Amino acid sequence: MNKKTMAIIAASSIIGATLLAESKQTVDGTVVPMVTMDIGYGLDQLYKGFIDYVMPAGTFFYGPVYDSKGNCVREGDIIATINPDYAKLQYQAASLAYKSAKDQYERDLKSGEAVSKRALVADQISMLQAEATSQMSKIILENVCTLRARFNGYVNEVKFAGGWASGLPATINVSQLDPIYISIPITESVASQTFNYNTPVTVYPTSDKIGAEPVGYIQGRSADHKSGNLLILVNNKPLPPPVKLTDANGKKIPVLHTWCPVIEMGGFTNYQYDEDSVIVSKHSLFGKDGDYYVWMVEDSKSGIAGKGMNYLNKVKKVAVNTDGKIISVPSYVGMVTFTPKDEKIKDIDGMILLSNQDCPSDLKDGDTICLYAGMYTFMPGDKVKVDIGPTPGVIQ
């Protein structure tokens, strides 16, 4: 490349940068997740961990919600769980070991000179070690056995649907949806001269999304090393349901993002189950100690030909007969069987039940709820329009 050609290229870059800085430009953009990753899950060493629930692919999930004082008012959605039975036994054993070590240390401490200082130090070390083991067992039981979302996102793929996990297998692949990147055809070298945090940016969502509004640029940008494009960070809000969310009495209608369809298992195509067998996720059960009930969504079906779900539905509290025990069903994880106690309730195949992971505590029989899996202002792969500039000039 000769000097004249290099001079022309350099001049073109400067002119392009100057135009971008001094006038508003409209460019095409593509929505790109800020993070896409595999999540490894399980327990290693003595207990490998039996994974008994993994959020299905195609599911939107939501992270924790905090109030203005920083208090968590809603925990993140459950992405996966490990059967806690073994962890409970470990915690019980560790707690007893700690109590025994503590009692021994306190007895020796009170005995005075009857116990040597060396023996007393050894007892204290044993007690502290037992305490640490007990605390670790409690953390495993309360936190590790339940994997909760830390951000808003989407399940791309389930890689380990359930069973004994050897080590930490890649269980699920997810993408973070809020905030999110917009990839625009501007190189980092041009952007470094003309594009800063003061540059006005407006990103317009696709026109087919009802309720979606344009957004601006927030602090945070990167470079896509594959395409050479600039990645700018924007807020990404879930879209509201396309229905009115107040009832006739002015009461706010809750929006529920997860639910549990009743799945038929009987029939001649599956001889392992009798004609009336149905299964449903364990998350559909409310109550305890044999006194169980479900929240049944009226006039909606899932998985039945010609049937579908409404946005707005009334719910009915239905007592059920079930032992609540998890059953092993191929291709399904964390399932239970049940039958309604009211014999008048028939045809429950495909019936939709509310999930105990996403249900208002003050729900009453006959209340109206909104079932809405959600969509975001920007989804990965969306093609958008982006207005950029002009960048403010320097005030002398």
Mean pLDDT value of segment 6-15: 41
Which H or E run contains 22? helix 3-22
Give the domain ranges of the chain. 25-81+148-236+382-396, 86-143, 255-371
- The CATH code of the domain at 86-143 is 1.10.287.470
**Averaged pLDDT of the chain:** 81
**β-pair type (65-66, 153-158):** unpaired
pTM score of the predicted model: 0.74
Q: How far apart are CA 347 and CA 285, in angstroms?
A: 19
Close Cβ partners of 348 (under 8 Å, ≥ 6 residues apart): 262, 278, 340
Close Cβ partners of 178 (under 8 Å, ≥ 6 residues apart): 151, 152, 153, 235, 236, 237, 238, 376
Q: Is 362 exposed, middle or buried (0-12, 13-18, 19+ CB in 10 A)?
A: exposed
Domains 86-143 and 255-371 share a fold: no
Crossing angle between the packed helical segments 85-110 and 117-139, to the nearest 10 degrees: 160
- pLDDT attached to residue 306: 72
* Per-residue pLDDT tens digits for 277-291: 678 888 889 988 778
| pLDDT of residue 166 exceeding 70 | yes
283: number of Cβ within 10 Å: 21
CA 309 to chain centre: 23
- Which is more confidently placed, 194 or 153? 153
Domain 255-371, CATH among 2.40.420, 3.40.50, 3.20.20, 1.20.1050: 2.40.420
Whether the Cβ atoms of residue 264 and residue 320 lie closer than 8 Å to each other: no
Q: Is 287 exposed, middle or buried (0-12, 13-18, 19+ CB in 10 A)?
A: middle
Tokens for 273, please give them.
Answer: 């189950």
- pLDDT attached to residue 19: 44
* Per-residue pLDDT tens digits for 287-308: 887 789 999 998 887 777 777 7
